[in-house]
Amino acid sequence: MSTMTVYVEEQTVLAGHEWRARRDDHQRRVDALIGPYLEARRKGGKHPVIDFLFTYYSSRPSHVLRWHPGFGVQLEDADEFLPLRGYERAGSGVRVGTDYVRRRQDALQATVALLGATAARPARLGCFGLHEWAMVYRTDETRHDIPLRLGAAGVDRVVEQMPLRCTHFDAYRFFTEPARPRNEHELSRASQVDHEQPGCLHATMDLYRHCFTLAPLLPADLTVDCFGLALRARDLDMRASPYDLRHLGYEPVPIETPAGRAEYVREQSAIADAGTQLRAELLGRCTHLAEIARHA
């Protein structure tokens, strides 16, 4: 995991052999995370768990695969980067330009506001992943072509016996109409910054979204760190869901039982702790970039 916490204006210069070695290391990291998945995807394969990180976020594998040094690094012998957005020629090399930082000022400021508000709150660990259950509550339609572990009646019973405490609007907006009034708070896009909190699995997964939408301003190692954690969060998200994924090797976390809820909180807490570290680094980098954009 990346641990850089100090940001400076000076350009770091990487010779061709240096940045290519970093690029190759990056690609090996991605291959270790999702190599088999990417190979199956190229052949038309689908995966109900991992696909989410691309289909839901409207991202592509290239967002993870492509190496970027991040703002503040100049690459020698790197004309292949010039066609990519944000890059400019700098002497004998190329770099992400300050003008591009300025053009992303609004996005940077919005990201800083959301990440800062999230980081300032304590993690809430009592949702038990019920958002996925609320999305199929009292309906014959499901979001995945996968059988429900307890059947429709079992899903309805769990939702009615346990409180809904979802804090993430992008999960809440997929609740069925009967489920929405059962949630602790009515959520909206406008109030997202008032409710986001670091215990939420989806808030942690969103760290990856922030990284790829702000590329190439951020270094690829941070993107892969956040993507890897998003994979962990998505894994727990679906194992705790009402779907039966055992045929794919995902053992359920039965949150309808006390033991299952305890297991969920243990895993959720570990993911939240890791997310707190990555959120702090991402917030620090975005705050620095937003300050550069303000003065550019």
What's the pLDDT score for residue 10? 64
Residue 2 clears pLDDT 60, i.e. is over it: no
Q: What is the pLDDT of residue 8?
A: 42
Beta bridge partners of 76: 93
Element (H, E) at 14: strand 12-14
Of 279, 210, 228, nearest to 50 (Cα)?
228
216-268 pLDDT, tens digit per residue, is 999 999 999 999 999 999 999 999 999 999 999 999 999 999 999 999 999 99
Residue 95 pLDDT: 97
Quick check: 169 pLDDT over 70?
Answer: yes
What is the model's pLDDT at position 147? Answer: 93
Length of the chain: 296
**The pLDDT value given to residue 9:** 54
Share of the chain above pLDDT 90, in %: 88
DSSP 229: H
Domain edges within the chain: 12-295
Instruction: Provide the mean pLDDT of the chain.
Output: 94
Find the helix or strand (DSSP H, E) in which 76 lies: strand 73-76
What mean pLDDT do residues 74-99 have? Answer: 97
pLDDT digits (tens, 9 = 90+) for 170-225: 999 999 999 999 999 999 999 999 999 999 999 999 999 999 999 999 999 999 99
Spatial neighbors of 24 by CB under 8 A, at least 6 apart, are none
Confidence (pLDDT) at 5: 39
pLDDT digits (tens, 9 = 90+) for 29-63: 999 999 999 999 999 998 989 999 998 888 889 89
How far apart CA 23 and CA 18 sit, in angstroms, is 9
Q: What residues contact residue 54 under an 8 Å CB cut-off, 6+ apart?
A: 60, 61
